[in-house]
Structure 1
Amino acid sequence: MAPASVFQQILDYANRADPWPLYAELRDTPVAREDDGTYVVSRYRDIVALLHDPRVSSQTTQPVGDTADDESARSFISTDPPEHDRIRRILTRHYGPPETPGRIDAMRTEMLEIVTSLIDGLTGKTEIDLVDGFAYPYPVTVICRLLGVPVEDEPRFHVWADAIVESIGTGAGADAVRAKRETAFVELGRYLGTLADARRDLLGDDLISGLVTDDGALGRLSPAELEPNLALLLFAGHETTVNLIANGMLTLLHHPDVLDRIRREPEFVIPTVEELLRYEPPVNLLPNRRALADVDIAGTTIPAGAPITLVLAAGNRDPDHVPDPDRFDPERFRTEYLAINRDSAQHLGFGGGIHYCFGAPLARQETQIALVELVRRLDNPRLLADPPPYRPSALLRGPRHLPLAVDRIIPDADSGGVRHPTVTSA
């Protein structure tokens, strides 16, 4: 049997806790061809070029749905322009700028209330699992309220979300894994489609209500379009933020100087979250790209039709792009630094190009609020497992559990009255 390639080793769960040496080794061959014909791209400048190259398609070979010829039964991230642009613009009308610029910012007070309630619920405990007790229920509650999904239905859609996240980026058998993922995605979409049907008779101020009554110039999403896109928003709207918060707290506990600085200067959370998106991104890989024509990149020709995987996490730590990339340093994203080094400070934590993360404004605000509150209310937090157990996926990489010891949960009224910095969600 041939030895495993570097990329196959990255997919191996045994390397989930510390893939960074493998990412560095992967960059030694900027464009590596795998045995299945996939071209793996790992340097920052090459990833950015391909993210903006119209010859690289995000169109899946078969839509997720009941019938292979139902071309609308796919989420917009698996499509190309003009279909992608139309659906994304309709969704954005009810989510954020430019047509609904205040929706996410207006949720800051509600986010803080959710965070406060969850941390209050940990009172009396000296050992906690930060994922189960906070990093998972917080973004789930937020995305449910934004979309208009009953949060009490979480046990129902959790099963589908788990099936999706455990089947992507694991290196497991392709056909069985893909079938499991697509079945879960379709069932999640059907559940949300049922909610959308009911919402037509009982409208609210949520995103689903906006979508089912949309009379904009681009038209209204059909049921076959609405279901997979709502499924995407619900799934991606919490799973990635779970990782960002858990990775963030784990990183802060490894860097107590930054943790202490956030406690003293809450506004320092803003560059800290940007550095987390570079240093420990919640999404490590972008698979399922395909060359529409021959593409020359880094001295290699990727032939038309070939699948492409963009390794965002490797690009984020490319020393040709970021000096001393394995050092966690939020100062990279301070205003003064950005004014001089803006190009070298850009990260791939939210991808790039036309598929730049739809939920970036929400994820930023959620994580900023979460880290400030955790830092000021967890008294002397320390890791009980290092490394912690990780989730199966190499794509959505983050701790499955994050067991911590604390001396106590500081009551909100006794925590110094720290106020959150006013930041833009853009």
Structure 2
Amino acid sequence: MRRFRAVPAIAAASLVLTTLCAGTLPEGRAADVDAATAERLDGAITAAMKKAGIPGVGVGLWFEGGGSYERAFGTADTATGQAMKTGLHTRIGSVTKTFTITAVLQLVDQGRLRLDAPVLQYLRGPLAEQLKRVAGADAVTIRQLADMRSGLFNYTADTAWLAELQADPNRTYTPEQLLGVAFKHPMDFSAGAKWEYSNTNTVLLGVLVEQLSGRSLADYLRDHVLEPVGLADTALPKGAEIPSPYAHGYTTFSPGGASVDASSWNPSWAWAAGAMTSTLDDLHTWVPALTGGRTAGGGPLLKPGTQAERMRALPTGYPGVGYGLGIAEVNGWVGHNGELPGYETVAAELPQDHVVLVVIVNSDEDRDQDDGSLSTLIGRTVTEIATPDHVWSLPAEAQPDATPDATPSGG
């Protein structure tokens, strides 16, 4: 969901759109929304891509009992001209938060955590000692970390750290290093006073999952979230790896603002808040599991009461945007968006109509366009046609996500 920018945007370098076509269908499949709607969607998406200079887009729209629309547009690799395809892997940015918070809520179900207990009741080791030195942090609860109301400083808003990342995007960061950056700053406000998006919250919760489960976050997610839901093409990488075949991602978050291929950059700086990889079809499977709290076999992913707590979206201060426990509500759509240098994603459901939307974009070069992000542009373009009463629309200043864009950003 949203990016919070700390400084004005650097002007994005021009990106040549090499292969913009009307859209390719997944192999062996066909769009089964009516032909007129599919044609309107094809035309609108293609026009939006051309106007914004987007290299490649994957879009999936699935209606329960009412058809689907699954298309790929443009180019996955501008160096080779490889076409975008719906089956390519991508980096999903802050959609990762939905997985990490699911793990946290499973620990709540197991009695290892209490949502309204202070995080310092559970945190151990040097990080606990560092956090104790942050005035007011003793009042921060697990719930406030999950619903972005902790007040803890967002490490991706630290300009010195951002300059370091921009200079060397292949560097490996540990969660301890990331939280160390955050804990050097005072809290932005008293715990629970308001809503403010912060990657620090989710990284800290990822550390708790590891400490309480005795396993790496990647392994815990694989065994307790990904496999039960049936997500064979989704993972939290240990380093910069992304499974093949994948879409190359293009960004201007580089020295001088030049457009570069960021697909091999190390996303460890985002870890539990934004480092996962997935595919269009896996995200299609994940969204109903996320919003319904069920596994692939129909069993509970979370207890019903815990799932209800997750889904209770509170106001954020931005019209039409609410936020629950690692999940957002945007004009009736429930899910999350994500951004990482080179990649943007939307994964959401319109629960009352049982419609799932997934958008994948292999660029974050928004060029100051009015929607604030390319994924929001495509999401709005699709929903204006498919679900005109519920348009995916986020103001540029209220797009919850966890990543620096082409500028120093708070995520």
TM-score with structure 2 setting the length? 0.27
Structure with bigger gyration radius: 1
Normalized per residue, which structure has more helix? Answer: 1
TM-score with structure 1 setting the length? 0.27
